[in-house]
Structures are given as structure tokens and as C-alpha cells.
Amino acid sequence: MSKPRFGEVITAMVTPFAGDGSLDISAARSLAARLVEHGSDGLVLSGTTGESPTLSHDEKLALFENVIDEVGGRAAIIVGTGTYDTKESVSLSKEVGSLGVDACLVVTPYYSKPPQNGLLAHFRAVADAASVPVLVYDIPGRTGRRVERSTMLELAAHGNITGVKDAVGDAADTAMLRSELDAAGHVDFEIYSGDDVMLMPHLAAGAVGVVSVCSHVVGPQIKQVIAAYHDGKVDEAQRIFLEFLPLMSTIMTVTASPIGVKAALNLMGVSVGVPRLPLVEATDAEKTKIRTSMERAGLL
């Protein structure tokens, strides 16, 4: 099996904020370096976990430029450029091409719930404009609209749309997508699991890796799962996955993401601040659950 274009473990990086709520560039650089040193092959900046809706245009560019300066060349840098406005998505996707990013992650337009032909037109417009590859981000639980398999197959035929971050939560459907992609000759179109707790089912369904939140705290272990699975050591992969599944589930479900992972990082002494409104800091009860889960996993 050839190595995935952007690596196997891609961390959807949180955006650190200072005590006054401003973007903490120094902490972002430090965190990016730490993630690469702890198993991340790539980073997604200004995605859902990076609180992209709260970042200004200038903050996004500053974040991209500084993280590229810090770890570019050592990790793939994928930047979130999708919004619910095609014009804005096209503009930002064009602009980042000159920064040295490796790809754009483009989320399904949210709130407006476009029909499937609208999704086709949206993603094609962005991919036509971008000078770097585009990954579709399919997360209907947040956007309210699913990219149907037939639509994804049409998108895969576009020369600049190279994969999908699959956060649908249906491994059987992911397997069907992989089967249909291969049958249509789109064998190079890559599927990334977009949900940590679905990693093992998604690997079995044909995913090449994961865009992970929990790799902030268990990056090496997630890398071990993928390596063991691809080496044919499925029992070992399952053992490691199940060992850390309770922790990953707690981080992702104790409250709205990325509140949990920011709390976990702060508990580890990795200062990333608290989320911006409308998200809030984890409550004391939520922090206790996260701490307990991390202690059981041997991380604290």
C-alpha cells in the first residue's frame, strides 16, 4: 500500500488563545512543533477544532503563515478555507496558495442546506480556483447536509479534489463509497476518518488514515493503531485502539468539541487557553471527567 498523500495521522489542531482572548501565535507555533514531534504527519489549521468561525481573515492568515514557518516541510499543512459562502471560500482558497500550504479542507456549506447539485457547483468552484489539492469535509451532524455517495463520485472525477474527511459516522456507507470509487477508477481518491472513535471501523472500510482531535494527547498511540493495522496485525491494532477508546470518547463527548481537548491539553501543561464564545471553558465537573479518564489511560 502506498503512503497517503498527506500522511496517516493528521491532527485537527486547536487554535490557542491568550488570556485576553487574542490569537496566541507563540503557543500555536509551540503546539504545532509538539504535535509533529508526537506523531502527526500533517496538521489541519482553522478547521472545526480550530474554531474557524471565530477567526478573522487576518488571524487565519497569521496562523497559517506562522505554523508553516514552524513546521512546514516536516508536516503537511492543510488549511480550512470552506464557509457557507462560495465566493468567500473561493477567495480564501486562492489566497492561501501563495503561502506554501499543501491542501485546502473545504467543509460542506452549512446552514443553507444546498441541494446536491448545489454542492457539486460549490466544491467545483473552489477546486477550480485553488492552486493546491482540495479535501472535501463531510460532517452532516454540524452542517445539516450530507454529501451523497453519487455526489462524492462526481467530485472525485475533478482533478483537484483528492479526498474526503469522512465524519458521517457510518462505516458501512464509507465502505460502499470506497467500493464505488474503486469501481469507477478513482483509486487515488483518499478517504480519511474524520472521527477518532470510528478509526478502526473506517480503516476496515478503506480509510487511509485519520484527521484526529485526540492525537493532541494520544498521537503516538493512534499512529501505532494504523501501523499495526496496515502491517496485518489487526489484533494488536484493536488492542491499542480499545485501550484508549474510553479516553477518546470522553474527550469528544463530555461536551461540545473542541472544549474537551482544550481542557485535556491544559491539564497536561500545554497551554492553549479557553475557547472563544459561543463556546465556553469546560466546567469543573467536565474537567474532572477528563482528568479521571486521562489518569486511567496513564497520561497524568
List, by residue number, the catalytic residues: 137, 165
* CB distance 90 to 123 below 8 Å: no
CA–CA separation, 237 and 229 (whole Å): 5
Nearest Cα residue to 243 out of 263, 268, 218: 218
Residue 162 φ then ψ, to 5°:
-110, -5
The cell numbers describing 169, all together, are 459516522
CA–CA separation, 202 and 199 (whole Å): 5
Write the CA distances from 18 to 22, 23, 213, integer angstroms: 5, 6, 21
CA–CA separation, 262 and 81 (whole Å): 22
Number of other residues whose CB lies within 10 A of the CB of residue 3: 11
* CB distance 130 to 93 below 8 Å: yes
The cell numbers describing 264, all together, are 485535556
CA–CA separation, 120 and 100 (whole Å): 27
Residue 28 neighbours by CB under 8 Å, 6+ apart: 13, 15, 16, 63, 66, 67
Residue 43 φ then ψ, to 5°:
-130, 140
Distance of CA 138 to the CA centre of its chain: 11
Write the CA distances from 3 to 85, 87, 89, 120, 216, integer angstroms: 34, 34, 29, 28, 22
